[in-house]
Amino acid sequence: MDSGKLPRGKQRALWSILGAWCIVALAWAGLLAFLNATDTRTGNLLRDAVEVGRVSALSGFFSTLGVMGWAMAAGASFMAGWVLHLRGDRRATIYPLATGLLAIVLGIDDALLVHEVLAPRRLKIPENAVLVAYGVLAGAWLFAFRARWDRVAWLLLGLAAACFLASFVMDVVVSSRILYEDGFKYLALWTFVAFCLREAARCVAFESPHCPPARGSARSLGPPKHNESAPDPH
């Protein structure tokens, strides 16, 4: 057997990665060709907003960090789902993938100003309708996976929800709301990011088909404890 030849399984994986890359590259090239053919101001789409608007380099600094936070939450969740998939535990992948999708949806809203600008001005969808849709989505996620969270997870979720609610109240009640509204929003965002990172770690740490363990389980994060009642082999 030729020791330099890759196993058939790894060859398939390499070809799959190459094929996926080619599909993405062709789709990207097609999109750029379409934008060029429709006389779209492609430079405004490709370049950074600071460069396009010729504003201070610090403009949108915390907003950019927020988008990075959503990406961290989604990336960690998807990675945990992928690890579970490689272990052959497809049922357990549902939870981290659903969490990652929720982070992606909220991140897209934050990056593209969906409920504030895109939906009401471009798509003619009322802002409140978009917010209600997000609330229903988050509520369904909470109801579906509520049994998987321990006290720390509920604490993080509660803090994030309280900060999101405070941000919404400041948006409606306080006239000079930018500092208060965005301050609470970023507190909520990074609390949710911490929740996602912790839950991803818990999913990867457990070998069980249920990830993470349901409330009341005796399992905890970390190496398994040895049975103290077992006789000493020495």
pLDDT in tens, 188-226: 999 999 999 999 999 888 754 556 655 544 444 444 444
Greatest mean pLDDT range, 81-85, 153-157, 177-181, 204-208: 153-157
58-77: buried (b, 16+ CB within 10 Å) or exposed (e) per residue? eebeebeebbebbebbbbbb
pLDDT in tens, 161-187: 999 888 878 776 765 567 777 888 899
Residue 30 has pLDDT above 60, yes or no: yes
Q: What number is the average pLDDT over the span 51-77? A: 89
Residue 75 is predicted with a pLDDT of: 96
pLDDT in tens, 116-133: 888 888 888 898 899 899
Residue 160 is predicted with a pLDDT of: 95
Residue 229 has pLDDT above 60, yes or no: no
Instruction: Give yes or no for a contact between 103 and 81, defined as CB atoms under 8 angstroms apart.
Output: no
Task: Compute how many other C-beta atoms are within 10 angstroms of the C-beta atom of residue 112.
Answer: 13
